Structures are given as structure tokens and as C-alpha cells.
Amino acid sequence: MKTENVDNIPLSTDYTDFCGHYQVLQLEDEGKTVFEVPILLRNYLDKNQNVNIRLLTDGSWDMVGKTTTSIIPPFGSTVMKFFFKQVSYNGIEELNLFLKNENNEKLVRIQGINYKEVFIPSFIGESRE
């Protein structure tokens, strides 16, 4: 399992009332590459925050699992886990999400989407002699 890029997603300019962190994990599913992106969201306010996340680059990417909304309790946190497959290699290759909470909207560009080739059997090594 490969872990890439942990990033901060602040949604406030005056002070931090809401932020997020994500990781990108490359997985294999029936011979196809899938990217798992768990997003940790933190609420620093004394009230619930409704959060909605949706896929912006839906022409090139498919989001597996459609749970895109969550309510984060006051001073609490939650993890929303998403799985993405690239379905088209024409046009936009970036993975972009739209994140919206009570008072803010943010374009989130997921970094760390790098393909790692897996050869079965191994392309080099003792077994290939």
C-alpha cells in the first residue's frame, strides 16, 4: 500500500473554524487501479457543521460510494472515505472535489495521484532469468 501527500484544507481566512486533511492510497481492485482518499474533517466551532463533498471532475473520474454528506458535532471530527477510479484519460487528469460547509465553499485539488506500475509476474528479478 502506498501513501501519498497529506494536505491541509482550511476553509476560513480569519481563523480556523474548520479544516481537513487527506491521504491518497493506491489500491488494486480486479487488476484496476483505485485510489482511496480518506478525508479527516475537524470542526472547531461550538455548533454542528453540515459538510457536503462532491466530485467536480466527473467526466474523467468515477467516485465509488456516494456518501457525500456528514454532520460534524461541535469540536468534533469525522473521516469520510472515498474511492476513485479514472474512467477517461482524455481531458482533465486532475482529481478535483467541491467541499461545502455552513459558511464556506472550497475547491479541493487532490494531489498525489501517481500511478505505480505493477507487473505480474515481476518484470525483473531472479524468477525472470
Torsional class of 31: left (φ above 0), alpha (ψ -120 to 50), beta (otherwise): left
3-state helix, strand, coil in the chain (%, to 5): 0, 55, 45
Nearest to 33 by CA among 59, 62, 65, 67: 62
In angstroms, rounded to a whole number, what is the distance separating the alpha carbons of residues 73 and 75?
6
Whole-structure pTM value: 0.72
In tens, the pLDDT along 56-81 reads 887 788 888 666 899 999 999 999 99
Cell numbers describing residue 30: 480486479
In tens, the pLDDT along 20-46 reads 888 888 888 777 778 899 999 999 889
In tens, the pLDDT along 80-114 reads 999 988 887 765 567 888 888 877 888 888 876 76
